[in-house]
Structure 1
Amino acid sequence: MRNNKTLFGVLALAAALSFAPASGVLAEELRTPIGSQADRNQGNYPKTGLSQSSVRAKWGNPQEVRGPVGEPPITQWHYQDFVVYFEKDLVLHTVLKRQTGR
């Protein structure tokens, strides 16, 4: 009886491990040198909580406006280097666009 339980446990463990992904096979590690991050992170971009009128006054008119969509209404303002997300009239988040050619 004890041998059956041990055998069943070993078989269950082997079956579970066969369905687990092998380490590193399904994942890719991306490395960005810290020096190349700093120049973009130090940039002057709209901060959370600014109003649409403040953003427009400092950075001008966006190249493109998308939205509003959903509830609460979310609007995107697209500039050359970043996208500003507004919830109603306030900056929710600013996302830097991917730089090409690096």
Structure 2
Amino acid sequence: MKALTLSLALTAGLLLQAPAQADTLLVERVQSEQGQALPARGQSMRQVEATFGAPQHKHAPVAGPNDTKHNPPITRWVYPNFSVYFEHSHVIDAVANKASPEEIGPKPVQ
């Protein structure tokens, strides 16, 4: 029992000496950037490009096997601060990109 108490006391002492470190969460940054304009759901590719300019990268469409009604082609365009996802040629979502590799958020799809 004495060994357990001593062990816990030493662990607590080491933790108190460790420097505090804070991670920037993607959710926190997104909330702070709420004023940033993003493409609206339903906009066409042409409307997005007219409003936001050409994307840095246009990924090729990816579709599920066989039935495109249930597995439509999804295309992703990458801009400096956000990515836009299209189903066929219309926006289904726009999300903020990670600011740095250290930012905690969703893992990229490989």
Tell me the TM-score range normalised by the shorter chain. 0.5 to 0.7
1:37 to 1:90, Cα distance in 2 relative to 1, 3 A: closer
TM-score, length-scaled by structure 2: 0.56
In angstroms, what is the RMSD of aligned CA positions? 2.4
Moved over 4 A (4+): 34-37
Specify the alignment match of 1:69 in structure 2: 62
1:55 to 1:35, Cα distance in 2 relative to 1, 3 A: same
Q: Secondary structure of 1:41's match?
A: coil
Larger Rg: 1
Q: Percent identity?
A: 32
The letter of the residue matching 2:85 is: Y
1:60 to 1:37, Cα distance in 2 relative to 1, 3 A: closer
Decide which structure has greater strand share. Answer: 1
Aligned pairs for 1:17-56 (under 5 A) are: 36-56=29-49
CA deviation string 1:24-46 (max 9, x = no partner)? xxxxxx885x9854431221011
The letter of the residue matching 1:88 is: H
Structure 2 gap ranges (5+):
1-22, 104-110
The letter of the residue matching 2:98 is: R
Aligned residue pair count: 72
Answer 1 or 2: higher relative contact order, Cα 8 Å, separation at least 6. Answer: 2
1:40 to 1:73, Cα distance in 2 relative to 1, 3 A: same
CA deviation string 1:8-66 (max 9, x = no partner)? xxxxxxxxxxxxxxxxxxxxxx885x985443122101111111000000001110011
TM-score, length-scaled by structure 1: 0.60
